[in-house]
Structure 1
Amino acid sequence: MKHKHLLIVVSLLLLMPALVIGQNNRFSDPDQTVEQQFWGELYVNGGNTFFCNKAFDRKGFLISEGYVYPLAHVRNALRCGTPRQCEKDDRYRQIASDLHNIVPVQSRVEMRRRNAKFEQLASSSPQGDCGIRQSTQFIEPPQRIKGDVARTVAYMVSTYDLPWLGAVSVFRDWSELDPPDDGELTRHQRILELQGNPNPFIQEPTRMAQL
């Protein structure tokens, strides 16, 4: 009987890392993470904005941090209340501190994007700044980052049990049409070093087909 109990304990210990290894378990203060890790490490030398591919040297009034999976949808999923109320929710703080979901954006573009979900819109839909198509409730990102968006949303959904922000089939198609490029892979490796966990859909894009 003792041996049986020991085997159960050992089995549980072996399984425990698998339950948390895919999550951000290193950062839990969103503001601090943005300031110290995102701007202080990941983009300390500048870079290019996510949606518009505009080069920048540093954070400024026109450049800010944005979230591929908008935090408003995270708050809705967790039902933690207002932004101020959710700041007291440990689960929300963990998710809001995940670097895989944070990208540099132009403030005016982020304001227009707001909390829209994602969709492959009709070609007749008007095309706005940086090749972004937008309707009342949905946004279609530029072709060059459709895969980036798909793999980030898939990561957030599978890692934190969040709802999809659009049709799964659309995200699968986007990931296939726009596989990881050098820029996405380099950023992913740097986040892996800083945060300690990968986005498996960037490491193995074929995982998208299994969703």
Structure 2
Amino acid sequence: MKKYVLVTFFNFITILVFTQIPNGYYDNAQGKYGQELRVALYNIIKTNVTTISYDQLWDAYPRTDKKPNGKVWDIYSDIPNGTPPYEYTFFADQCGNYTGEGVCYNREHTVPKSWFNEASPMYSDLFHVLPTDGYVNSMRSNHPYGKVGNATWTSENGSKLGSSATSGYSGTVFEPIDSFKGDVARIYFYMATRYMDKIANWTGESFQNSDLSSWAKNLFLQWHQLDPVSSKERKRNDSVYVIQHNRNPFVDHPEWVNDIWGPSASINNYDFIAYLYTTSDAINVNFVNTFDNLTIKLFSIQGQLIYDAEINNSNNFIIPITFNQGVYILTIYNDQNIYTEKIVIE
């Protein structure tokens, strides 16, 4: 079958996903950008919220974080499209005591609870308190997320703790595996919006004044682009809504991340791409210069990694079209540049 390829700028296209967004839920956010959009979303997602207790999180997790096989979906142990080193059964494997990985799961505050002094409603907000391995949770402690340079400890699924290689922060950081970096980023964008009236009183290096700190914002913008919204996140968003009666808008509308924290020009560096064109059997990209250490990833719209390559000392590359019709996200990046486009194969 002949394939026709359409290339459109990702930042200007709304991806249609079939989530259960209530009719009119985001009406007051439409047509807004920047801080005006952030304030509009803040007013939407703080209204009519049900705050559950910390103990009730245990009962919520089978609805919000259940893998297809019925086990706990733990981002610190899961290996998408692979075999996890261990899995947990809801309720039966809740922590008590542990001295290593694979013993039990507990409740991980992705925004550490010490940063906001264990205050409600952050303390039990389902959007950021996830079920994870107890030992990995304790190893992460209250360190911020970031890119690890030299790892001092690595979990069984490849999550790392070590010195920061993230520009703007030199302390110790925790780095989840690539498949969950977007999940973490969109949680932080949610927290920076849901609690924008409280952040100024938080400690923790990922926030400053009433927003994300500059280095954390840049990191999470990159993670958001590199790991698109997955079906796991969409289903979780729907499930949390049933319990808390609010949503993560950056799962429903990923484009709003750039509309608020961009502008998009700061994310997509179009200047380092000379041109991109397609034929019936390949995607061709040419760069303005020869680059080293470029990573090329192609994702399906469901977040599955389709193509992954490293480019060194080259000013072009070709991706053979060996995959089916559909919508794909092409991401090209190194330490200085990032470029993302939506590609439709018909």
Shorter-chain TM-score category? 0.7 to 0.9
Change (3 A) 1:127 1:30: closer
Conservation of the 8 A alpha-carbon contact between 2:42 and 2:194:
no
Change (3 A) 1:203 1:126: same
1:89-138 Cα deviation digits (max 9, x unpaired): xxx2212121111211011111101101011233x445601211212521
**Equivalent residue pairs, number:** 178
Show the 5 A alignment for 1:18-97: 20-23=43-46, 25-31=49-55, 33-38=56-61, 41-43=63-65, 45-53=70-78, 54-59=86-91, 60=93, 61=95, 62-75=104-117, 92-97=119-124
Alignment RMSD (CA, Å): 2.5
**2:247 counterpart SS class:** coil
Residue of structure 2 equivalent to 1:111:
138
TM-score of the two chains, using structure 1 as the length reference: 0.74
Q: Tell me, which stretches of 5 or more residues in structure 1 are unaligned? A: 1-13, 76-82, 84-91
Task: Give the Cα–Cα distance (whole angstroms) in 2 for the partners of residues 187 and 58 of structure 1.
Answer: 16
Deviation at 1:46, TM superposition (A): 3.6
Deviation at 1:35, TM superposition (A): 3.6
Q: 1 or 2, which has the higher strand percentage? A: 2
Change (3 A) 1:117 1:168: same
Residue type of the partner of 1:63? Y
2:180 maps to which of 122, 145, 151: 145
Residue type of the partner of 2:88? F
Deviation at 1:19, TM superposition (A): 5.6
Task: Give the Cα–Cα distance (whole angstroms) in 2 for the partners of residues 207 and 95 of structure 1.
Answer: 22
Structure 1 or 2, whichever has the larger Rg, is 2
1:26-52 Cα deviation digits (max 9, x unpaired): 015323x3244335x435754321221
Q: Tell me, which stretches of 5 or more residues in structure 2 are unaligned? A: 1-27, 29-39, 79-85, 96-103, 164-171, 200-206, 262-346
Higher relative contact order, structure no. (Cα contacts within 8 Å, ≥ 6 residues apart): 1
Conservation of the 8 A alpha-carbon contact between 1:27 and 1:97:
yes
1:130-164 Cα deviation digits (max 9, x unpaired): 21121252111110000000000111111102223
Task: Give the Cα–Cα distance (whole angstroms) in 1 for the partners of residues 139 and 253 of structure 2.
Answer: 32
Task: Give the Cα–Cα distance (whole angstroms) in 2 for the partners of residues 111 and 101 of structure 1.
Answer: 16
